Structure 1
Amino acid sequence: MPNQETVDVLVIGSGMGGATFSAGLAPSGAKILILERGERLLDSEAARDARAIFQRGVFRPRESWLDGAGQAFNPGNYYYVGGNTKLYGAVLIRNRAQDFEPISYREGTTTGWPFNYDELEPWYTRAEKLFRVRGAQDFDRTEPRHSAPYPFGPVPDEPAIAKVRERMTRVGLNPFPLPLGLDLDKWLKRAKTPWDAFPDTGCGKMDAESCGVNEALRHPNVELRTNARVERLLVEPDGKRIAGAEVVANGERQKIAARFVVLAAGAVNSAALLLRSREGGLANRSDAVGRHFMNHNCSAVLSIDPVTVNDSIYQKTLGINDFYLDDGKGGPPLGNIQLLGRVTAPILKTSLRLAPEWTLGLMSRRTVDWYAMSEDLPNPESRVTVEGGQIRLDWKRSNWAAHAGLVKAFRERLRAAGYPIVLSQPFDRRTPSHQCGTVRVGLDPSTSPLDPFCRAFDHPNLFVVDASFLPTSAAVNPSLTIAAQALRVADHVAKHDL
């Protein structure tokens, strides 16, 4: 591509994978250009307004995808510098060591990873330092080995949540402090709200922008370009290497050449970009690009004690893994439980539109809000495709029996702990509950698009470092695992390619 802009490394997407990779590679001196289709998320009154966020959806994207039946829906994916982490719950937890091995569930067995936990552990430690994680060990029996302690102590329980912790302990559970990327004082100084599902506008949440992008931009060899949407990747005439990308930036179409292209647009959009870049898709010798889409099985669980007031503001400090390695009785695993951010009346009204907000407020004051999460198993028929330029997401939900068992087991413990009313509601496809798996890593190029360092088997200068690479979803939040792998890949590129 003569007379075109040329960079050493073109990073497509500024979410957890792209931002962390850029921060890791920046000290190498390579000329890095980060492209983000959205803009920086600026502070506004809506950023701490639950009605604006949940009822009016002011931060949701203005686009639609098709589901497996061809019906349009509005996805809950966010296009800002920092990607989906701008509104994430800031839970930065490691996969358990067992998650890297095949796991047998009621409905099937996972494939395992092409490397074990110990291979990734040093980069977990580096990622926790980069994202300034608050946490504590020795509370969770499933916690894997750490080579260093958490950088900071845990975010404190509020008094009402300290009592919840005591109630959980009395019924035989082992609550642990959630590892969180959050400066609590800075967050609450802006406004006394939860952070879970509230957008970060530079007010204390450790997200891909505040810790990844901003760290990368401290180096003069890194540039961030916003409002730049990649239309397709370009291939050299021999088809072996990626030449660069065709980009529409601020309404103008241009081509950017690159020695290396790092794709990090999200598990759905990265797969879609590879599929629409060439007939049959790029990096797709295996016919696996877009396949094995996974999205955690998740439910909100509301425990109600009519005689106890929950006056917490943020709430989200506890996790429970007593059902993670087995069902608590020696049977197959069920999943993870953690507190949600405080669910107030304006948030409840999103699902209960006919109920007056004041009655929902009475209910909310006596409710503790939980998040139940179970692994979704890889299935080649659960997939992303592109039809006439539009994304089609045909999610084949799996392992639902385990999730139903998790909700049932936890419901029993909640009632034993003194919550006579327990309600639950599954999350639907509008909520991107940790989408992953569409361009997965593996050892065999006939079954996986990427090698264990996220390099495309078909194109040695193409890497994919977002949640697409995950070969299994595990049953914990994936953000820290994505960050750790991005740092590992950045180190590999710096050592072997630059």
Structure 2
Amino acid sequence: MNGIWGPGTPPVVQGDADRYDADVVVIGSGAGGATTAWALAGTGARVLVVERGGFLPREKANWSPGAVFGDGRYRNAETWHTRSGRPFTSAAHYYVGGTTKVYGASLPRLRESDFAAVEHLDGTSPAWPFGYADLEPHYAEAERLYRVHGSPGRDPTEPARSGPYPHPPVAHAPRIAELEQRLAAQGLHPYPLELGIDLADGGTCVRCGTCDGFPCRVGAKSDAETCALRPALRAPTVRLLTHTYVSRLRTGADGRTVTAVEARRNGRSVTLTAGTVVVSCGAINSAALLLRSASSAHPQGLGNGSGLVGRNLMLHHNSMLMAVDPRRPNPSVFQKTLAVNDFYRAGPHGPYPLGNLQLMGKVHTAAVATAHPHVPRRVLDALTGRSVDWWLISEDLPRPGNRVLLRPDGGIALDWHPAGARAHRRLVRTGARMMRRAGYPLVLTHRMGVEHTGHQCGTTVSGHDPARSVLDPYCRSHEVRNLYVVDGGFFPSSAAVNPTLTIIAQALRTASHLINHPSW
């Protein structure tokens, strides 16, 4: 066991070895991987979490818009490409905690209707292989683990709950409280956005203006490292291997069991072995890893007898909406506290769902300048100083042609043509009209493209039929008995809210199944 499991050894493996043995290897330390490790920490199983990056440092630059957005200080993903060959920098971040280190900590549940087939303007969103009721207890546990603040009874699409939120809603800044009243006067139902931040008694959150899109310098954001992995590492049987890139999974001759994990650590080849392998690299990287693991037993990629590994990629339709009142500055610092779901389902606005609107963290000039580099800074300063900023999400429908591909050099290419754009355009128009009626005459919007991969899902879809899915309802491979994929890849549909809490809840559900049906 290479000495890494002895009493008193540090949780982060320091020494170099050619081989590391465990009962469970978890590849990736983001929302899915870190939560899985946390759930297994008390079982006595030897859990080895493998992360290709290191720790994101806490430093002054964490709170610098210029460093974060202008300089891209914390972007460390490799270059990806479109199908046509255009290079781009994705939203992936390779750190302990994964992309949750810089996410906006918005942690809503999917709605009950999201688990059923839903008719959309541009097609049908398929049903899931399990229902909301199956996931609800794990949602409740996920909210406790990730310190979610919220308030029931305000959102017309709110799903049933077995108990209250762990923490009360985050209070609105005065300008946002005023906006809430103006939206309610339009007959809408604005509600407190579900947020994962440390605002309990004695909490570390200072309600700064650098939360959404920034690393948290004081550890107050409910990211996967802070809430799940560090607590898991307190167990003597959980260890973390950083700066370790997994390149391939190898199976036995019959292809039914992963027998070794091939990786590179600090420039040297290493082998990892375990009775159970959990892949949690994010939907795109997990699919790429399975495709890279093709063999004579799995010629299309590991566990890809259905041909669906990498297919049905969904990224959401995302737009930023800046509503500007030229007459009044917006002094709000922590702005991200309000959401609107009146257009989430079919209703008085029309016969089809449109999506979700939620406030963003206050937009900084440095962030807008990256998308509009030719606009004078004084103009951007004037706009961002007077704007209320929204993030608009519409469902991206699954399409087999939207997929993850491997380039000849093994790199990643995305062939993605979003399905459901008409509904999103309607949502943007509806949001603009809503804000003009609320007293913001100038509305600017910006549509996000393929580079915005923060909400990736669908590439290793779960289901009951092995011919039409990659994973079973507990995220276990239909074809490889000791392989699980626990990230957004299992989503049969993308819904129209942030996927992170659902990934966390499913990780807890999968871990519970693993504990009851161990393969280590």
Name the counterpart of 1:212.
228
Match of residue 430, structure 2, among 391, 395, 409: 409
The match for 2:262 is 246
Distance of 1:188 and 1:7 partners within structure 2:
36
Match among 278, 283, 290 for residue 310 of structure 2: 290
CA-to-partner distance for each residue in 1:105-140, whole Å, 9 max, x for gaps? 010001110011001000000000111111110010
User: Partner of 2:246 in structure 1?
Assistant: 230
Identity percentage over the alignment? 44
For 1:345 and 1:281, the matched residues in 2 are separated by 44
Q: What are structure 2's unaligned runs of at least 5 residues?
A: 3-17
Cα deviation for residue 194 of structure 1 reads: 2.8
> What amino acid does structure 2 have at the position aligned with 1:47?
N
Q: Deviations over 1:311-353 (max 9, x none)?
A: 0112000010000012543410000000011012222222222
Deviates more, 1:94-103 or 1:364-373: 364-373
Note if contact 2:77-2:93 (Cα within 8 Å) is conserved in structure 1. no
C-alpha deviation, 1:187, in angstroms: 5.7
d(CA) in 2 for partners of 1:313, 1:398: 35
User: Against the structure 1 CA distance between its residues 186 and 149, is the aligned structure 2 distance closer, same or farther, given a 3 Å change threshold?
Assistant: closer
Q: Give 4+ residue runs of structure 1 displaced > 6 Å after superposition.
A: none
The equivalent position to 2:445 in structure 1, one of 401, 411, 424, is 424
Q: Secondary structure at the match of 1:248?
A: strand
- Quote the Cα distance in structure 2 between the aligned partners of 1:4 and 1:37: 16
Match of 1:440 among 425, 442, 461: 461
Say yes or no: does 1:320 pair with 2:340: yes
Q: Following the alignment from structure 2 to structure 1, what is the Cα–Cα distance between the partners of residues 466 and 88?
A: 34
Match for residue 371 of structure 1?
A: 391
Give me the whole-angstrom Cα distance separating, in 2, the residues matched to 1:21 and 1:188: 26
Deviation (angstroms), 1:244: 2.3
The reply to whether residue 18 of structure 1 matches residue 33 of structure 2 is: yes
Q: How does 1:245-324 map to 2 (within 5 A)?
A: 245-278=261-294, 279-324=299-344
Instruction: Look up the SS of the partner of 1:301 in the other structure.
Output: strand
Of 46, 55, 61, the match for 1:46 = 61
Name the amino acid aligned to 2:499.
Answer: P
5 Å-filtered alignment, 1:28-177, equals 28-177=43-192
What TM-score results when the alignment is normalised by the length of structure 2?
0.93
Corresponding residue SS for 1:165: helix
Is 1:221 aligned with 2:243?
no
Are the aligned partners of 2:63 and 2:216 in contact in 1 as well (CA < 8 Å)? no
CA distance in 2, matches of 1:239, 1:459: 7
Q: Does 1:479 align with 2:500?
A: yes
The 1:328/1:58 distance shift into structure 2, 3 A limit, reads farther
Is the alpha carbon distance of 1:385 and 1:399 closer, same or farther for their aligned partners in structure 2, counting shifts above 3 Å?
Answer: same
- The CA distance in 1 between the partners of 2:384 and 2:251, in whole Å, is 55
Aligned length: 497
Structure 1 residue 306: Cα displacement: 1.6
Distance 1:429 1:186, change over 3 A: farther
Partner of 1:491: 512
Q: Give the Cα–Cα distance (whole angstroms) in 2 for the partners of residues 15 and 62 of structure 1.
A: 14
**Mean alpha-carbon deviation: is it higher for 119-128 or for 359-368?**
359-368
**Cα distance change of structure 1 residues 315 and 344 upon mapping to structure 2, 3 Å threshold:** same
Q: CA RMSD in A?
A: 1.6
Aligned equivalents of 1:176 and 1:244: distance in 2?
Answer: 48
Find the aligned partners of 1:309 and 1:170 in 2 and give their Cα distance. 22
Is the CA contact 2:262–2:272 (under 8 Å) kept in the aligned structure 1?
yes
Q: Does 1:390 align with 2:411?
A: yes
What is the aligned partner in structure 2 of residue 462 from structure 1? Answer: 483
1:447 partner letter:
R
CA distance in 2, matches of 1:30, 1:268: 28
Alpha-carbon deviations, 1:390-425, whole Å to 9, x = none?
111111211000000111112112111111111111
Q: Which whole-Å deviations, capped at 9, do the CAs of 1:93-112 have from their partners, x for residues lacking one? A: 00000000000001000111
- Are the aligned partners of 1:288 and 1:449 in contact in 2 as well (CA < 8 Å)? yes
Distance 2:118 2:218 in 1: 39
Is the CA contact (8 Å cut-off) linking 2:108 and 2:194 kept in structure 1? Answer: yes
Cα pair 2:315 2:452 within 8 Å, conserved: no
| AA matched with 1:44 | E
Counterpart code for 2:371: S
CA contact (8 A) 2:92 2:454 kept: no
Secondary structure of 1:42's aligned partner: coil
Q: 2 CA distance for matches of 1:460 and 1:334?
A: 39
Q: 1:196 aligns with which of 193, 197, 212?
A: 212
Mapped to 2, the partners of 1:350 and 1:327 lie a distance apart of 37
Q: TM-score, normalised by structure 1?
A: 0.97
Q: For 2:19 and 2:332, locate their aligned partners in 1 and report how far apart those are by CA, in whole Å.
A: 55
Does residue 1:399 correspond to 2:414, yes or no?
no
What runs of 5+ residues in structure 1 fail to find an aligned partner? none
Counterpart amino acid of residue 478 in structure 1? P
Q: Which amino acid aligns with 2:441?
A: P
SS in 2 for 1:28: coil
Secondary structure, counterpart of 1:162 in structure 2: helix
Q: Alignment partner for residue 356 of structure 1, among 362, 371, 376?
A: 376
In the alignment, residue 171 of structure 1 is paired with which amino acid?
Q
Where 2:371 maps in the other structure, the secondary structure is: coil
Distance 1:188 1:456 in 2: 40
Secondary structure at 1:409's aligned position in 2? helix
Instruction: Select between 42-51 and 358-367 the one with higher mean Cα deviation.
Output: 358-367
CA contact (8 A) 1:168 1:175 kept: yes
CA distance in 2, matches of 1:23, 1:297: 32
**Cα distance in structure 2, aligned partners of 1:26 and 1:37:** 21
Q: Is the 8 A contact 1:345 1:358 kept in 2?
A: no
Contact 1:327–1:334 under 8 Å retained in 2: no
How far did 1:358 drift? 2.9
Letter paired with 1:398? A
